[in-house]
Amino acid sequence: MTTFTGRGHGKLILSGEHAVVYGHPALAVAVDRGAEVSLRRIDGPTRTCAETLCDVRLTEALKAALEPTGWEVSVKSDLPIGRGMGSSAAIAVGLVRAQAAAAGETLDLQTVWERAFAAERAFHGTPSGLDQAVACRGGMLRYLKGPPPIFVDLPCPDQAIVVLDSGEAGDTAQLVAGVRARRPGIDPVLDAIGELVLRVEAALPDPAAVGPLLTENHALLQQIGVSNPMLDGLVQLALDHGAWGAKLAGAGGGGVVIALTAEPESLVEVARAHGVDAFVCQTMPGTTVP
């Protein structure tokens, strides 16, 4: 029986998370991990393929996005859930593309983004749209929240990024709400993050120059209250072992820390020796295929 598939990229935010919600730019890059969603016609009620997803909310969101009967949906993803790597956005984009394939539609990138963004609103409350933008476009992106949102595709350096997993999921909606509650007191820090994003962009593609700016970004994220001792410890671990720089990536409160270093594999080894789940991601050039 015919299966319709669609794929979305995973992402890492290099700079600008949280500030992007308040109109500052953010820089994010797609990585060589992602989610693939498959749809298969069946008789009877729509169901998810049992072994594909352990996240109940995601399973419900997928079923809600489909007709009540006639589909089996399955997901293959190598993105950790709730770690700031854009797992739900990649799945939303994969689903939009799989549905379009099933309907014989050809969608442009803007339409893929719009549909995936609508699905993510149900999931995350008030997302900026950044995750969906990278999930559908790939590559390196400067993003400015709308309306209308502005996407600027930047040259995507071929870069290894070390990901250090805190082992805990951060609740994006709750963290965004926490930041909102601390405004306007923290607005100068959000402004400083916005300025830093432009310095990071100017430093691309020299990772040795970008690194210290990431560490600076982490300090600002600490000031807006989204880091925690575990994440600070992972940043320090990376710096103690020769990284050019490191920061939490995503909403914080858990999730991952990213590090730029000349020796990615040896940092991964060190992290694992400390009991930290770590891996290397490679940046992914942008897609021109809708």
Binding residues for ligand PMV, rule: CB under 6 A, are 17-18, 20-21, 84, 86, 127-128, 130-131, 170, 172, 176, 250-251, 255
Nearer to ligand PMV, 65 or 90 (CB): 90
Distance in Å, CB of 239 to ligand PMV, minimum: 22
Beta bridge partners of 5: 38
Tokens 């991952």 correspond to what residue?
256
Nearer to ligand PMV, 42 or 219 (CB): 219
Structure tokens at 14: 């290099």
Helix, coil or strand: residue 159: coil
Distance in Å, CB of 33 to ligand PMV, minimum: 14
CB of 260 within 8 A of CB of 239? no
Give the whole-angstrom CA distance, residue 153 versus residue 143: 9
By beta-carbon distance, which residue lies closest to ligand PMV? 250
Nearer to ligand PMV, 187 or 269 (CB): 187
Structure tokens at 217: 């970004």
Nearer to ligand PMV, 84 or 94 (CB): 84
Helix, coil or strand: residue 61: helix
Residue type, 201: E
CB of 148 within 8 A of CB of 117? no
Indicate if 277 belongs to the active site. Answer: no
Which residue among the candidates 131, 171, 232, 240 is catalytic per the annotation? 131
Nearer to ligand PMV, 100 or 133 (CB): 133
Distance in Å, CB of 235 to ligand PMV, minimum: 17
Going from the C-alpha of 197 to that of each of 129, 224, 235, the distances in angstroms are 17, 16, 19
Nearer to ligand PMV, 39 or 91 (CB): 91
Going from the C-alpha of 61 to that of each of 7, 20, 112, the distances in angstroms are 17, 25, 17
Helix, coil or strand: residue 97: helix
Distance in Å, CB of 173 to ligand PMV, minimum: 9
Count, in order, helices (H) and strands (E) of the chain.
9, 10
- Return the sign of the alpha-carbon dihedral for residues 79, 5, 136, 131: negative
Distance in Å, CB of 256 to ligand PMV, minimum: 9
- Return the sign of the alpha-carbon dihedral for residues 228, 229, 231, 236: positive
Give the whole-angstrom CA distance, residue 290 versus residue 191: 34
Distance in Å, CB of 217 to ligand PMV, minimum: 12
Catalytic residues: 131
